[in-house]
Amino acid sequence: MDEKIRLIMREPTEEVLTPELLKEYIEQGVPLKHYIGFEISGFVHLGTGIVTMRKVADLQRAGVKTTLFLADYHSWINKKLGGDLDTIKRVALGYFKEALLQSLKAVGGDPESVEVILASEFFEKLGIKYFENFLRVSNRLTLARVKRSITIMGRKEGESVNFGQLVYVPMQVADIFSLGVNLAHGGMDQRKAHVIAIEVGPKEFGYKPVALHHHLLLGLHIDEETREKLLKAKREGDREAFEEGIVEIKMSKSVPQSAIFVHDSPEEIKRKLKRAYCPIGEVEMNPVLEIVKYVVFPWLEDLGRSFEVVNKKTGERKEYKSYQEVERDFAAKALHPLDLKLAVAEYLVEMLKPVREYFVEGPGKKYLEEMKEIQITR
């Protein structure tokens, strides 16, 4: 039991609502049924592909039944890929699905044991029951609550949205209960929907799900002004402003310069990292250090390897056994940003090699080419 809880709770997990309920389910032998939903839009980056799939791999090791929910209707509502439903469905079952499964494999997970569900096919199979579940959730929500929760769509609170987009929130909550999920998983940006599910569940569906939220990787494009604004919100305990700010500057497929994609070439990875924001001596809100912490170090630890950095000027090689050692040296200005970036680039090139080869030379080539064509014509 302790090992299951450790795997579920360890980074990149940032929050579990609630640890007590999770422990209760495990103690009582309740089978944990997980899901995480994905909007179908652009290319898959480190946050979606590696950080998210590492958590899925942890859950698999903990004996949890894992599910990837490809939310094509939700993506359509949110006007992804030009709002073309046919394109969204094609990408969902092509590039997007393959990128997630190859990423899961790269972090030690088992693509064969994860269930992949296309939302539209699931809704068709469930029929009127899904609509009933949607109404059960909707009847428990006020319009004001729904408007406050549209941030789960990557939209700002108070932003003008159409009526179709308002149904996104109760739909996402209805997904959880329609799938019979008792472990709802998402980034910290999905918290508002999961809190609604926790509140609505006992009243309408007879149980309360556990919600697991993982860390959102910062985009490489963050600037000093944005960083200071977020740190101020954090210091003042303004959780709402801090969380909304993080959503705005997280690694995003819609902002290509902010992201490293799982199929990027070695040259692209190195170029993006060289341009990444990485102020000397600053460890908070540093996107390069975040990649070290949440992407590179967990992968190296799985392989029993340490993190090495070469000083570009002297040629000296330094070995780090833990992320804390890296952070300590960086804060003391004993580790230069350029040396750190070069080391991170080399590890990412190595780590992503199987995914890149699958899409550049292997069976995934047709999906990547199709996706690039869609991106060009949009």
Structure confidence by residue, pLDDT tens digits, 15-66 = 999 999 999 999 999 999 999 999 998 899 999 999 999 999 999 999 999 9
- Separation CA 310–CA 279 (nearest Å): 19
**Ligand-binding site membership of 28 (annotated):** no
Confirm or reject CATH 1.10.240.10 for domain 224-250+265-351, answering yes or no.
yes
Q: Is the distance from CB of 88 to CB of 75 less than 8 angstroms?
A: yes
Measured CA to CA, the distance from residue 176 to residue 198 in angstroms comes to 10
Q: Which two tokens stand for residue 174?
A: 């209805």
Q: Which of 7, 1, 113 is nearest to 54 (CA)?
A: 7
Q: Is 207 flagged in the annotation as binding?
A: no
Check whether 175 is labelled as a binding-site residue.
yes
The strand pair at 115-118 and 183-187 is best described as: unpaired
Chain centroid, CA 362 distance in Å: 25
- Which uninterrupted H or E stretch holds 69? strand 67-71
Please check if 95 is assigned to a binding site.
no
Q: Which residues are within 8 A (CB) of 283 and not within 5 positions of it... i.e. 6 or more apart?
A: 289, 327, 330, 331
Torsion of CA 180, 121, 86, 113, to 10 degrees: 70
What residue segments make up the domains of the chain, in order of their start?
A: 2-214, 224-250+265-351
Tabulate helix, strand, coil % of the chain (nearest 5): 60, 10, 30
> How many of the other CB atoms lie within 10 Å of CB of 14?
13
Q: Which two tokens stand for residue 104?
A: 């899961």
The answer to whether the annotation marks 320 as part of a ligand binding site is no
Class of domain 2-214: alpha beta
Instruction: State the DSSP code for 228.
Output: H
168 is in an annotated binding site: yes
Print pLDDT tens along the chain (378 aa): 999 999 999 999 999 999 999 999 999 999 999 999 999 988 999 999 999 999 999 999 999 999 999 999 999 999 999 999 999 999 999 999 999 999 999 999 999 999 999 999 999 999 999 999 999 999 999 999 999 998 878 777 777 788 988 999 999 999 999 999 999 999 999 999 999 999 999 999 999 999 999 999 999 998 888 888 888 988 888 887 887 788 788 998 878 888 999 999 999 999 999 999 999 999 999 999 999 999 999 999 999 999 999 999 999 999 999 999 999 999 999 999 999 999 999 999 999 999 999 999 999 999 999 999 998 666
Q: 213 has which bridge partners?
A: 15, 186
